[in-house]
Amino acid sequence: MRLSAIMAKEQALPRVAVQVVTIQWTKATRGAPGSIRRAALPRAFPLRQGTGWCSIEHITLSEWEQFRAHHRVEEPLGQLPFEICSLRLRLESADELSVGIGCTQHAGQPWRIARPRVMGLGPGQSGRVATNARHTSYAGQWYTETTFHIAYGGDLSPDRFMSGKPDRDYNQKAALF
């Protein structure tokens, strides 16, 4: 359903906040002590919000930048449905935000099929989707772990994704080695 059609029926829809945390590393830090350092990295950060109906925050931690967090916030100009990396969001009704996951990003392995719906979120609920992949390029192999945090209205305070468990959780991480 198009956002404009729902907005015509409803006074106000819950705001949507998405935080995408991506950790990137190479074979150089695949085993210990690199894996120990990676395991200690945060998978959620204080939420930085925009002012629009939807706020998307991308946070990247890369081995080649000593795992320093780089933040970027954007606000989509379009309407639902839309895709953020491989995360798919679609408004089923004013009372439900549908969350799906696309195919593996950047030709990563293991290949995963798209799952149009892995969870539904009601107003005030949050969800988390976790995925990972192994990638090959002319420079060698590199790996990614991506955690998507999604909030559909309710408490959008800075600690939203850091305090407690989400209402829904979908984990499609696989053994990469």
The structure tokens 């379009």 sit at: 78
Q: Is residue 177 part of a domain?
A: no
Q: Is residue 176 part of a domain?
A: no
Burial (CB count <10 Å: 0-12, 13-18, 19+), residue 39: exposed
Q: pLDDT tens string for the chain (177 positions)?
A: 555 544 434 446 788 999 999 999 998 888 788 888 888 999 999 998 777 788 899 999 999 999 999 999 887 766 777 778 889 999 888 899 999 998 766 666 777 788 889 999 999 999 999 999 888 878 788 889 999 999 998 888 899 999 889 999 999 988 776
Total domains in the fold of the chain: 1
Q: Which domain holds residue 147?
A: 3-171
Q: Is residue 57 part of a domain?
A: yes
Q: Is residue 26 part of a domain?
A: yes
Contacts of 44 (CB under 8 A, 6+ apart): 19, 21, 147, 149, 161, 162
